[in-house]
Structure 1
């Protein structure tokens, strides 16, 4: 971890408003473990969007622990955009018994612990978590973040000329990595897809 990241984590730890969540800073408690996660939301605008589902799965060593997966539906406070319903398939009535976002995040954070988080275009998902986490705990998600599209890009560029274009669409990455493609736009399936990509990229880098 770089010095800037360490400073950020130290700053966050000092501003944590609920000491119960100190476990978020203990990465060493989970050696060689990660959590892949994904959020489905009511829109792609972070300022307006609400989280409607969170899916996550633990990665331990070179195994995806599907038996230790996490999935929760969240009841949004506002209206969902109709065009988004066609993407994730979650209708208002599907979410009528969902958890309040605070309760959903409490469960999600307990599942993640201090493990690094892995994702595909993770910046958006983390921004959505931060949007609701900051009012709850006074901090943003402090966990180390690993972006699979960045890992994939770095690996591809080692094999290409500097001016080549790298296709970072999830479907293209999955096809190139030769891994199964679970139905997408489901938070848990997307989290498992990302976990498979992460392990495939790790495996390829170890054989170079």
Structure 2
């Protein structure tokens, strides 16, 4: 009920009718997993460097339909940021403006549910741009994979001291680790986690 009211309130502020489809009822068998690489961890001042997203349809991860968008920067990327995501200023040759990147992302996502690891941060980074551009925040249903993992793990560790680090979850679920801090690879690994958890009733 609360989510429905919040969604209606959000829709009232939509400034671009092209994106009304974001508020349509989602298809239950499709979800988008996404990840952002950014210049830092503060949505108020930091910017998006790249966005990776991949669709899950039923039990399949549609890597052939994935997107990996590099975003042009107004200023040089800080060295500390580069050491984390490994994206240098020279790697952004051919990158697109953030406005175009956000549009591509929204048309890709559509009205599908979203999933991610530390999703609240990635959503906040997207909202930073779509709020002034279109007057709204992402209305899509959202699922946090670390919360799903926690709920399935808690019964095995009564004291509740559960390690929710990304690499720990991958190892515990016996999933492959791709090159880290690459937005698309992170999205694909998170999609693997999501599917494994959805088909696991109880973790050891």
**TM-score scaled by length of structure 1:** 0.94
CA shift for structure 1 position 164 = 3.1
Give me the CA root mean square deviation. 1.3
Q: Which runs of 5+ in 2 are unaligned?
A: none
1:43–1:81: 8 Å Cα contact kept in structure 2? Answer: no
Deviations 1:63-87 (A, max 9, x none): 1010110111001223322111011
Instruction: Please point out which of 20, 25, 50 is paired with 2:18.
Output: 20
**What is aligned with 1:149?**
146
Map 1:182-193; keep pairs closer than 5 Å.
182-193=178-189
Q: Which runs of 5+ in 1 are unaligned?
A: none
2:152–2:202: 8 Å Cα contact kept in structure 1? Answer: no
Map 1:1-208; keep pairs closer than 5 Å.
3-28=1-26, 30-161=27-158, 163-205=159-201
The alignment partner of 1:106 has SS state of helix
2:153–2:202: 8 Å Cα contact kept in structure 1? Answer: no
Aligned length: 203
Distance 1:56 1:97 in 2: 19
CA shift for structure 1 position 206 = 8.4
CA shift for structure 1 position 97 = 2.3
CA shift for structure 1 position 94 = 1.3
Deviations 1:154-200 (A, max 9, x none): 11112221x23100000000000111111110000000000000000
